[in-house]
Structure 1
Amino acid sequence: MSELERLRHAMRATERPDAVLDLAAVMREGRRLRTRRRVAGAGAATLATGLAAVVVVVAVGASGPGDPAPTERPPPVAVAPPSVGVSPMPEKWPDPTPPPTVARDEPPPKPMGQIVDSGVRHGTERRVYYFVPVSVPGAPKVSIGLAAGRQAADGSLTTDILVNDVDGSDRRAGFHQIGYDEGSAAPVPTFGYFVGPAERITGTVDGRQVDARLVRWSADKQVMIFWFDPAQLEPGERLDGIIARDGSGRRL
């Protein structure tokens, strides 16, 4: 006889006129029935938990046949869902070259005025200096830059270094930006420009003086282009000082 049947039998005994209610038996059987229901409920919850654990194992990594069964109350496992609409970053882009900020086929700036030949040769190319137009945000009085380039036999130009002011005026009296070689394909002799009636420009390095070669810019006779012979001043070597003098030897 099951627990439920025993409970019903104990309760039906009260229906007979001569029967005496055994209250203790009824309560005992009722407790036993409730206990069985609680145990059954816990077993159902355990089964549901076990199924959830199986789903996680299958999704993350299947367990082998010899692995232990999941515990009754496994700790909660959070599995992040894959991102939607986001592709993984490739280990290497098809083209490692970053996209250009300017057009690749954009022609180089056209020289302003005459191109100055320095007399220095790099194979079949000659080292030249020339001014080109520039635009500096916030500096409306800066419109020219001095370039050190190479000119091929066909007349084409390759610019190695371009220097220009970043504020003020590019025609103020005195020295402006000086260009130094920084590991170019062909060494660039130190160069720059001076505005004023200069007839001699002398640089100082390691206590010795080195004279620069000078050529007036064809577009403005007040602008003097200068550079140092690489045999006297190694390209890239920094000057300790530089001065300009007029035809009378007076320092400008």
Structure 2
Amino acid sequence: MTDLDTFRAALQQPDEGRPPAIADIMRAGRRLRRKRRFGYGAVVAAALVAVTAVAWPTTAPPATVWPAAAVDAEGSWGQPVATGLRSGKHEIVVTAFHNVNQAYPDITFGVRACAADTSGKLGPCHNQFDDVAPDRSPGFHAIGLPSNLDYVDLPMYGYYVGPATTITVDSRGRTVTADTAVWSEDPEVVLFWFDFKDVYLKPDKTHPNYKKQKVTPGELPDVANWSAYDESGRKLPLGKPFVIG
């Protein structure tokens, strides 16, 4: 019998001319109140444990990002950008560099794709600067072909001046989209690069020109129809998208 049943039985005892069993009724009531207080405390404790588990989860260690402590990586003007691409044990970054070539006084900077390590060391690097148009004129600049330096594969990359959020080019018969990042030193300058699977140097053995022993689009990427769009989808000026080898 539960304490509640005992309490009810005490209340319902026939008096048979006797006063009610007050002591029994009070004892049953005290037992019932103690039990209810214990049950409520157990529920609250369980709820607190559950809230604590949600509010204070075990924190996993943060993912390693490049560069570990190299905001000022040697040979870089501004913050290098991790592309997410790798070649062997190297991570690939894109960044800018100071151009001090006196033959081009209006070209103050160029861009580079580099192998990098977590210490901030850059190299080898593929460097490009635009000798066709002023470095901050609207449009595409300093587009470098995919390359291999010291056994490190580097992607096709370049920069765009203007509010570009989407950059595309036609390659191997399809339109591919670049990854982009705003240069840390000038919000008008957008660095861009292409995934190896989209634009690369390896011969395309499925192309008809390969069987004809001609230069294939894989050996020298057939890139055309450069385009840049802002966040609203408006097409932006091309400038002079000259591809540099």
TM-score, normalising length: structure 2: 0.55
For 2:152 and 2:124, how far apart are their aligned partners in 1? 11
| CA pair 181-206 structure 1, distance change in 2 beyond 3 A | closer
| CA pair 109-242 structure 1, distance change in 2 beyond 3 A | same
Instruction: Please show how residues 1-252 of structure 1 align to structure 2 within 5 Å.
Output: 110-184=75-149, 185-235=151-201, 237-252=221-236
Quote the offset at 1:110 in angstroms. 2.7
For 1:168 and 1:138, how far apart are their aligned partners in 2? 13
CA-based RMSD? 1.8
Retained in 1: the 8 A contact 2:158–2:192? Answer: yes
| CA pair 202-168 structure 1, distance change in 2 beyond 3 A | closer
Letter in 1 for 2:109: I
Letter in 2 for 1:221: P
- More contact order relative to length (CA 8 Å, sep ≥ 6): 2
Q: Once the two structures are superposed, what CA deviation does each residue of 1:186-234 show, in whole Å capped at 9, x if it has no partner? A: 1111100000011100110233100000100010000000001112222
For 2:101 and 2:177, how far apart are their aligned partners in 1? 31
Point out where structure 1 has 5 or more consecutive residues left out of the alignment: 1-107
Quote the offset at 1:250 in angstroms. 1.3
| CA pair 251-151 structure 1, distance change in 2 beyond 3 A | same
Aligned to 1:38: none
Taking every aligned residue pair, what percent have the same amino acid on both sides? 32
For 2:105 and 2:111, how far apart are their aligned partners in 1? 17
SS in 1 for 2:188: strand
Quote the offset at 1:157 in angstroms. 1.0
Aligned to 1:66: none
Retained in 1: the 8 A contact 2:88–2:152? Answer: no
Aligned to 1:64: none
For 1:133 and 1:109, how far apart are their aligned partners in 2? 12
Query: Between Structure 1 and Structure 2, whose CA radius of gyration is higher?
Result: 1
| CA pair 213-183 structure 1, distance change in 2 beyond 3 A | same
User: How many residue pairs were aligned?
Assistant: 145
Runs of at least 4 residues of structure 1 off by over 3 A?
Answer: none
| CA pair 132-109 structure 1, distance change in 2 beyond 3 A | farther
Aligned to 2:54: none
TM-score, normalising length: structure 1: 0.54
For 1:155 and 1:143, how far apart are their aligned partners in 2? 23
Quote the offset at 1:167 in angstroms. 4.6
For 2:100 and 2:193, how far apart are their aligned partners in 1? 24
Retained in 2: the 8 A contact 1:138–1:167? Answer: no
